[in-house]
Structure 1
Amino acid sequence: MTLTAVKPTLRNIPTITKLSNGATIIAEQMPVDAVNFNVWFNIGSAVESNQINGMAHFLEHMIFKGSKKLLCGEFEKIVESRGALTNAATSQEYTHFYVTCSPENFADLAPLQLDLVLNSSLPDAEFVREKLVVLEEIRRANDNPRRLAFEKAMNICFPNLPYSRPILGTQASIEPLGREEMYNFHRYWYQPASMTVNAVGNLPVEDLTAIVAETMEHYSRGQEMVKTPFVSESPFEEIIREEYVDSALKQSRMIMMWRVPGLMSFEDTLALDVLAVVLGQGKLSRLFRSLREDKRLVKGISASNMTHQVQGVFYIGSQLSKDNLDQVEGQIVDHIKDIQDNGIAESELKRVCNLVANQFIFHSEKPSDRTNLYGYYYSQLGNLDLAFNYTDSLRSLTVDDIQRAAQKYLNINGYGIVRAIDA
């Protein structure tokens, strides 16, 4: 194995270990009486075909149903008996599994977590039972008006990219899935080369690394995995609208969206992150102060820059009376045009950059924060440079950078919009 120390701008220095089978271990000692062990795969729903949409999330459920060494439910019982916690999550481009435990239990629990994810037995009876659980989860999601509006927005924004597909899948895609299909999906994608194994807590780095490496080195590299390359969608050149009535809504919702660069274009993404805060995050943001506090046109409004690897979406969502839909849409456009024409003040940029930087730092204090930070950046980019330099890069932005981002990416004559109207 090779040890490489990477110096971040964060206070501590994690140690990155690359194993011969392709797995990466990131370890850091932190003086907190806990260890968070977080296994990230750079695999999510984006690698699925339309026919097996939802497979990655379904597999996340099935991982906990046992392995060659563990019976169904045994891992959770062991974790609970040690006073530890475990859970998992699936996104478009990653899946991760984590355990938080006391330092003295790490050596016992980490190998079991690795055995579960790499040697999952996917028992037939549990596959049938868990499919019903997933289908019920899909039904509940379909009954959520807010989620429905967001899915419609993503379908407009990404007609050709898999980011528009629901991570849970659909009833039509999940019902026909067979256990053998899941076995093949797991065997192909869940390999050491797709793993970033993170361990942060109150044990020496050498111990954290050795415990994981001793288990991982028993697994071979496996076959070469091939991901289909994605081509970004073109920017909106006109206004694409969808409007529908939802009787489940108590108040109308509106989502306006623009296609923007993804994580691979980090500098542009950073400026858009700041622009989202300027426009619609917090009580001092422009849209909140103008449309909610001063004019009382909305019940709530927010802006976000959602980043995927290849392409992201900048969107503004609001809850409002259906009588105000046209006026609010026009007001949002006016606020964007004002930034495009006049920029923002230096004082506003400084306030927002300090806010975002502090949030980044505050969300990097616990072992679980660090493993999520390391897992996300390394699994998506193959290094931690952008994570370590995030606050410095943020504070180097200028008012011209923010104005250029608004001019370049938030076309006031070309965007997608979904209006969900209460009955």
Structure 2
Amino acid sequence: MTATATPIATSLNNPVIHHLPNGLTIIAEQIPVNAINLNLWLNIGSVVESNDINGMAHFLEHMIFKGTQRLQSGEFEARVEARGAATNAATSQDYTHYYITTAPQDFADLAPLQLDVLLNPAIPDDAFDRERQVVMEEIRRSEDNPRRRSYQHLANMAFETLPYNRPVLGPIEVIEQLKPQQMRDFHRGWYHPDRVVAVAVGNLPVEELIATVERSCLQSMEDRRGEPHIRHQRQSLGQESAFAQVIRAEHIDPTLQQARMMMLWRVPGCMNPQETYALDMLANILSHGRTSRLVQDLREQRQLVNGIGASNMTYQHQGIFCISANLDSDNIAATEQAIREQVDRLHNELVPMADLTKVATQVANHFVFNNETPSARANLYGYYYALMGDLAPAFSYTDAIRSLTPQDLQTAAQKYLSTEAYGTVTIRPET
């Protein structure tokens, strides 16, 4: 080993963090499940793109699997599937991650392949042109999806200046113009070991997990010797100001059978985790389960909506607190007023301690239960470390939720959820 491995003591998880001299971070944990998940996370998503290459990060995710100097196109997937393992990847605004899930006895053979495709993609011209068609078809399907269209309307309202308002997939007119060399430069500029968090979780000793990933990384970096030195730098991103008044946007979508209404507030992102806990709780107080406030009031009693939910959507630099409803167009005005009344109630009445305790237990247990498999655990570690550079917020989440008081929730509602300044997006079916 070339660096000191640091265990992180916690009642829920016990990973070890190990840093290589080239900057790669390895997080490893042994758990008694007969599988290994290797998750490679980068804090590189669509927000680092300029407008003229919007969609490049996602397109690159596709091209990562099209061969390296050591592997022919399709060989990586074939060798993974031959072992009964699985591989996939995902791109978001803030991150991209690649993973394999394999049997412990196959980990030493497959981990080097995963690092090779990540760090050394060939990006051949012919494969680039073929995959471009696949990506454009994915964009068309996304544009045909009413939920995706609704989300884009929401993002356009929430973000005036931050690049979160751009689609992760990019527009077709941009993808059509991209060149293979632009992607090679994008990869060489962003995909450096010091921007990679490699998380290995499963039933092998931690020392073996770390040694395998380290050996795989060093082997892969041998193939990058002599390449042109390109290193892109992240631009400093600020935050959007809170809405100063009620802002409205209306759209017509002839594919809808009923209207959709979204009310939204700009709130902190995950770089300010202490500010997000109470907002997570408020979203659950409002809409988690049939006995929650919005469901009982607007759906069960007043019958204004067919469905309603609240969510605290946390991106790295900004968040959106959103209340969305499916409803008849005639009920839009009454529904907005009813939601304002429920938010105003959070301003002026303390949430009863019994309700707070019940919901806090639900939220905390949901967090724990959803992080018990190797893949879920690896995703948890990769997400927090790639975006926040720290695992402590992941380990302290349940305690933070349980420690909230009724006054904390009231303060958060008063601070962030104004009843006089917010955004509304309404999408109506064609009349």
Provide the TM-score with structure 2 as the length reference. 0.96
Residue among 252, 275, 279 paired with 1:272: 279
1:282 aligns with 2:274: no
SS of alignment partner, residue 4 of structure 2 = strand
SS of alignment partner, residue 397 of structure 1 = coil
Cross-structure match for 1:351: 358
Answer with 38-47 or 210-219: which moved more. Answer: 210-219
Aligned length: 423
Residue among 242, 264, 267 paired with 1:257: 264
Q: Which amino acid aligns with 1:343?
A: L
Separation of aligned partners in 1, 2:155 and 2:218: 41
Residue among 407, 410, 429 paired with 1:422: 429
Q: Which amino acid aligns with 1:301?
A: I
SS of alignment partner, residue 10 of structure 2 = coil
1:394 aligns with 2:401: yes
Cross-structure match for 2:85: 84
Provide the TM-score with structure 1 as the length reference. 0.98
Cross-structure match for 1:37: 38
Separation of aligned partners in 1, 2:420 and 2:10: 40
Judging changes above 3 Å, is the alpha-carbon distance between structure 1 residues 101 and 383 closer, same or farther for their aligned structure 2 residues?
Answer: same
- Contact 2:190–2:231 under 8 Å retained in 1: no
Cross-structure match for 2:234: 227
Separation of aligned partners in 1, 2:9 and 2:43: 22
Cross-structure match for 2:324: 317
1:306 aligns with 2:313: yes
After superposition, the C-alpha distances for 1:260-318 in whole angstroms (9 at most, x for unaligned) are 01111111111101111111222222111111122221111111101111111100111
1:125 aligns with 2:132: no
1:139 aligns with 2:140: yes
Separation of aligned partners in 2, 1:14 and 1:200: 9
Which runs of 5 or more structure 2 residues have no equivalent in the other structure? none
SS of alignment partner, residue 217 of structure 1 = helix
Separation of aligned partners in 2, 1:100 and 1:376: 17
- Contact 2:8–2:16 under 8 Å retained in 1: no
- Contact 2:294–2:308 under 8 Å retained in 1: yes
- Contact 1:254–1:325 under 8 Å retained in 2: yes
* Offset of residue 156 of structure 1: 1.2
Separation of aligned partners in 2, 1:12 and 1:337: 39
Cross-structure match for 1:62: 63
Separation of aligned partners in 2, 1:200 and 1:420: 43
* Offset of residue 225 of structure 1: 4.3
- Contact 2:12–2:395 under 8 Å retained in 1: no
- Contact 2:24–2:197 under 8 Å retained in 1: yes
Residue among 282, 298, 308 paired with 1:291: 298
Residue among 379, 387, 392 paired with 2:386: 379
* Offset of residue 144 of structure 1: 1.5
Separation of aligned partners in 2, 1:395 and 1:58: 41
1:14 aligns with 2:15: yes
Separation of aligned partners in 2, 1:302 and 1:8: 36
1:152 aligns with 2:139: no
After superposition, the C-alpha distances for 1:303-343 in whole angstroms (9 at most, x for unaligned) are 11011111111001110000110000100010000010112
* Offset of residue 81 of structure 1: 0.8
- Contact 1:8–1:388 under 8 Å retained in 2: no
Q: Which amino acid aligns with 2:66?
A: K
Separation of aligned partners in 1, 2:12 and 2:179: 48
